[in-house]
């Protein structure tokens, strides 16, 4: 593997015309996604190149809508859920840094209007859908005519998990091995699973103290268990992909839950320890294990936060709606 570090700007620049032409206004949508096999750890922090491949399910119509239009005021305007954001806020800076990769030195003031329809109660991160929608919108606005793998690679430079949000359904992000990362892209699996459900359970909406980016860096640096993660993740990815192909729900659930807990084991063994769980998270896990021993096929996955995402099929929906009355249910492929 070639580990030479290349800048984002160097990679992106090769795909751009010297001078951009801009449309007046465009809109784009990208779904949020939940990883069933997690991305945890980078081999290149500049390009967000991962140390393992991952696999996710996109959340249908839940995600980010982004509108880009020309700004007449002479300066950029950044809106999030209709509220104007200070240009020096961390949200605005991330967006402006990303846009700078495309605008380079051209004076093209823009209005970037991002609206997330992810239920705020769900405790889901919006950077994946946000960067994917922004990339799709930029491609249209500047008429870049980039293909889907390139959009995925560029969205990844904003946030790793955004590479997967360029697609719907089940999506695999191959880690790749090139130093410019252009083979580290996602693609959609040719699988449709009507009745597949994801339940969002919020146990807390408090901002996580350590975000995924810093959490990964700390884990790699300080956890002895991390050495076992890439091999575990690649084995889990194979099982999950096979389970999706064969529509074997219990195999999928087991591998996804085990994968999430293995990732959390690496986090907990970091120093200072990264324990994203709250007592309520553990209570929900115990409830799920009890429901499983009572014969209900329900599994969970968790990211770098205290909230749980339940995995089940529509046959278990009624009973789970009673057990978890506040759960938001998403069926990315609709009903059976
Ligand atoms: C635990 O994609 O948010 O949700 O690449 O630094 O922006 P950056 O990280 P991010 O990490 C997501 C980590 C995860 C697992 C996953 O979604 O695969």
- Could you read off the pLDDT of 150-202 as tens digits, one per residue? 999 999 999 999 999 999 999 999 999 999 999 999 999 999 999 999 999 99
- Report whether residue 212 contacts ligand 1, using a CB cutoff of 6 Å: yes
Q: Is 181 left (phi over 0), alpha (psi -120 to 50) or beta?
A: left
Atom of ligand 1 nearest to the CA of 42: 5
The finding on whether 54 has its CB within 6 A of some atom of ligand 1 is: yes
Ligand 1 atom at shortest distance from the alpha carbon of 125: 3
Q: Is 55 a pocket residue for ligand 1 (Cβ < 6 Å)?
A: no
Quote the pLDDT of residue 294: 98
Q: How far is CA 327 from CA 302, 317, 324, in A?
A: 15, 11, 6
C-alpha radius of gyration, the chain, whole number:
20
pLDDT (0 to 100) of residue 91 = 93
Ligand 1 center to 291 CA (angstroms):
29
Which of 212, 226, 270, 276 to probe ligand 1 with, by most ligand atoms within 8 A of CB? 212
Answer whether 258 contacts ligand 1 (Cβ < 6 A): no
What per-residue confidence (pLDDT) applies to 43? 97
208 C-beta closer than 6 A to ligand 1: no
Q: What is the atom index within ligand 1 of the atom nearest the CA of 162? A: 2
DSSP 8-state symbol, 296:
-
Ligand 1 centre to CA of 72 (Å) is 35
**Helices H / strands E in the chain, number of each:** 9, 13
Below-50 pLDDT ranges, the chain: none
**From ligand 1's centre to the CA of 23, what distance in Å?**
32
In whole angstroms, what is the distance from residue 18 CA to residue 102 CA? 10
Q: Which residue owns the Cα nearest ligand 1 atom 6?
A: 213
The structural domains of the chain, ordered by start, are 8-188 (3.30.230.10), 196-330 (3.30.70.890)
Tell me the C-alpha distance between 62 and 187, whole Å: 19
- Please check whether residue 40 is in contact with residue 219, taking contact to mean a CB–CB distance below 8 angstroms: yes
CA 213 to ligand 1: nearest atom: 6
**24 vs 331: CA distance, rounded Å:** 35
- Atom index in ligand 1 nearest the CA of residue 159 equals 7
CB 50 within 8 A of CB 175: yes
């Amino acid at each position: 593997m070639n580990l030479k570090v290349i800048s984002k700007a160097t990679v992106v620049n090769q795909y751009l015309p010297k001078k951009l032409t801009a449309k007046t206004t465009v809109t784009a949508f990208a779904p949020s996604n939940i990883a069933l096999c997690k991305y945890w750890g980078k081999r290149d922090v500049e390009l967000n190149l991962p140390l393992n491949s991952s696999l996710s399910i996109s959340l249908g119509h839940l995600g980010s809508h982004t509108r880009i239009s020309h700004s007449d005021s002479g300066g950029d305007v950044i809106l999030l859920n209709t509220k104007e954001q200070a240009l020096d806020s961390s949200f605005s800076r991330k967006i402006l840094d990303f846009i700078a990769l495309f605008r380079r030195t051209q004076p093209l003031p823009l209005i970037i209007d991002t609206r997330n329809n992810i239920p705020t109660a769900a405790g889901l991160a919006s950077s994946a859908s946000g960067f994917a929608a922004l990339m799709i919108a930029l491609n249209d606005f500047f008429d870049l005519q980039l293909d889907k793998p390139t959009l995925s690679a560029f969205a990844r430079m904003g946030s790793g998990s955004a590479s997967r949000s360029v697609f719907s359904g089940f999506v695999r992000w191959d880690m790749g091995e090139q130093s410019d990362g252009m083979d580290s892209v996602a693609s959609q699996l040719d699988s449709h699973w009507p009745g597949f459900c994801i339940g969002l359970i919020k146990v807390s909406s408090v901002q996580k103290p350590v975000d995924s980016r810093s959490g990964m860096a700390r884990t790699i640096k300080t956890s002895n268990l991390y050495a076992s993660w890439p091999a575990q993740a690649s084995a889990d990815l194979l099982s999950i992909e096979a389970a999706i192909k064969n529509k074997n729900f219990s195999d999928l659930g087991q591998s996804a839950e085990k994968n999430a807990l293995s990732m959390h084991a690496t986090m907990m063994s970091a120093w200072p320890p990264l324990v994203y769980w709250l007592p309520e998270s553990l209570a929900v896990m115990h409830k799920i294990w009890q429901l499983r021993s009572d014969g209900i096929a329900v599994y969970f996955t968790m990211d770098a936060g205290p909230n749980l995402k339940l995995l089940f099929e529509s046959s278990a929906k009624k009973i789970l709606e009673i057990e978890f009355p506040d759960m938001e249910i998403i069926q990315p492929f609709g009903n059976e």
